[in-house]
Amino acid sequence: FDTNYHYLAPELSADQPFRLTRNTPLAALREAQAQGVPARPVLVGPLTFLRLSRMTDGSSPLALLDRLLPVYEQVVAELAAAGATWIQLDEPILATDCTVEDLQALQDAYSRLVAAAGSAKLLVQTAYGDVRDAYETLIALPVAGIGLDLSARGSQNLALLQQFGFPTGKWLAAGVIDGRNIWTADLNAAMDTLEQALQHVSRDRLMISASCSLLHVPYDVRLETGLPAEIVPWLAFAEQKLAEIVTLTRGVNAGREAIRTELAANHAVISAAATSPLRQNAAVRQALADLPPVATNRGAAYPERAAAQKERLHLPELPSTTIGSFPQTPEVRAARAAFDSGNLAAPDYDAFIAAQIADVIARQEQIGLDVLVHGEAERNDMVQYFGEQLEGFAFTQHGWVQSYGSRCVRPPILFGDVSRPRPMTVRWATYAQSLTERPVKGMLTGPVTILNWSFVRDDQPREQSCRQLALAIRAEVRDLDNAGIAIIQIDEPALREGLPLRHAEQAAYLDWAVACFRIAASGAQPATQIQTHMCYSEFGEIFDEIAALDADVLLIENARSGTELLEIFRTEGYAKGIGPGVYDIHSPRVPERADFVAALQGILSVLPAERVWVNPDCGLKTRQPEEVWPALANMVAAAREVREHVLAPS
């Protein structure tokens, strides 16, 4: 749902059986009840569950609804029997393009679940946008309540409410507080929205809520002691958002006069943020205005660039490389923590990093990699590292949010215009290159990924912020190029994550996302190779845009996909370099040389050898050295074997 939250998709087939192994929401409800908390159990709704599942046999997930519903009925009935007065079922899939089949499934599911719930009330909660396709079906469901996103992202829901009305007696959970971002809400504007909603919903049936789950924001801004003092009032983490909801609830029940003081204070904060010099950089805005249209071009077409790069790099067929990062050992993390806390002097920390880089370069040379990397020992996070060196960013100490499972991230706060006061990566890239005759890649995070993995200011279009980031990365590319770095990798793993939920809105996003990447890459001369890396992506639906990036080499996550993912590159005649990952870095398993040989032979059955690179799926930061080095040695040996025995002329 265009957030930085990832889920594991269940893999289902047409004959999939379902049964309840453990009623986890029931256990959570009983735990809350034991603490005296009047909790509302929350489940993923059946339509969303099926639509987000992956069908292994190409069948329709909705065909499984009749098999799935008995399990949902059992869960709901057990929750009701345990004393749940409300049960919430999340159906964010309704904020996407919905079909007639989706809407029929919605009706079928909730007519049965309402019966199973007995006296418990069901709330169907939507999120992440408006429900334009489903609104009329949604409000006709026999459930007790409907939750709508009434933040800026779901603003069309208010128009739907005004156009089609709202059933008398139903509850509306009005999501006027943005659960996606960390900015203080404009409470006066929120009250305006709620007062418009009250024209269609009775006051005793209106619940004030967030637009979505608060898992996307940190807990409490009061824990932060290192943020610039001026921006702290602009921020609302989960605790502050709950306080905003309480204030608005009081305003709805008792009138604006009852919260006059809070509204006045909030207005002052919103006004100060809008006019703060911290958010405006005239030089950045002028540089964007002066950017010529040709700034999205490399100065030469790909065939000319490829010839110049071949002459410069002298690489063999099936060149081997890695994606960038190497394992961050406890020693590396301890040294960084000591440096950050002031317990390790800068010269000592720099000497430690230099030694780490020298070791990584030597080991890569030893196993025979063709294109090297410096290992990124100095980097804490691929976005934070750059944000800390750019103007317009701030960073939290405790602002962790869930990414997936137990993995949490601490997104930077992009609060103002972005500029690059000085080079960010040139020092360590040139040091690494000085240690070897083989090319060492400069490693950068792309503008779209920095944008999508940050909390982004909401006072201007995201495109504007992304173009500012692109200018900063472009300047870094130019400095690396001028310093003699022959290959520069600009990572864009989050390109697809920002894709709008509605198909009709996706082209505009992709247009400016591609343009921003091209602006960043345009800082390189034609003989300098631009690589990019993507993961977590479904490439088929954005293939044209991937091609339009005009990167010289595309490195992709592919080890678990075999040749299936690559077919589109063959059928579409993709003519640039491509490195389908052959090493699944998400597994501790060390592949044998024969495994790599088999993977390469599969790739070469689909793609021409002159285009293929040999590389892992992703960066190696989270793996252990004892896993990585044997695996890479086997990968390089396999590339050499295929090069000599499969590609060599007989």
User: Which residues are designated catalytic?
Assistant: 586
Sequence-distant (6+) residues with CB within 8 A of 434 are none
Helix (H, G, I), strand (E, B), or coil: what is residue 580?
Answer: strand
Q: Please state whether beta strands 121-125 and 54-55 pair in parallel, antiparallel, or not at all (unpaired).
A: unpaired
- 611, with CB counted inside 10 A (0-12, 13-18, 19+), is buried
Helix 65-81 × helix 24-34 angle, to 10°: 20
CA distances from 144 to 165, 167, 209, 587 (A): 16, 10, 16, 46
Contact in structure between 210 and 178 (CB atoms under 8 Å): yes
Give the start-end residues of each E strand in 143-287. Answer: 145-149, 171-177, 206-210
- What is the sign, positive or negative, of the torsion defined by CA atoms of 492, 498, 504, 507? negative
The secondary structure element, H or E, covering residue 42 is strand 42-44
The secondary structure element, H or E, covering residue 465 is helix 462-482
Q: How far apart are CA 33 and CA 12, in angstroms?
A: 35
Task: Report residue 148 as tokens.
Answer: 């709508």
- Residues in the chain, total: 650
Q: Backbone phi, then psi, for 87, in 5-degree steps?
A: -130, 125
Task: Report residue 333 as tokens.
Answer: 């993390």
Q: Please state whether beta strands 171-177 and 206-210 pair in parallel, antiparallel, or not at all (unpaired).
A: parallel
- What is the sign, positive or negative, of the torsion defined by CA atoms of 363, 369, 371, 376? negative
Contact in structure between 328 and 377 (CB atoms under 8 Å): yes
Q: How far is CA 131 from the centre of its chain?
A: 23
Tokens 């080499």 found at: 553
Task: Report residue 90 as tokens.
Answer: 């999340």
Q: How far apart are CA 141 and CA 145, in angstroms?
A: 9
Residue 368: Cβ within 10 Å count: 15
DSSP 67-97: HHHHHHHHHHHHHHHTT-SEEEEE-GGGGS-
Task: Report residue 396 as tokens.
Answer: 């939290």
Sheet holding 455-456, edge to edge: 391-394, 413-419, 455-456
Query: Which one, of 577, 510, 573, 570, lies nearest residue 550 by Cα?
Result: 577
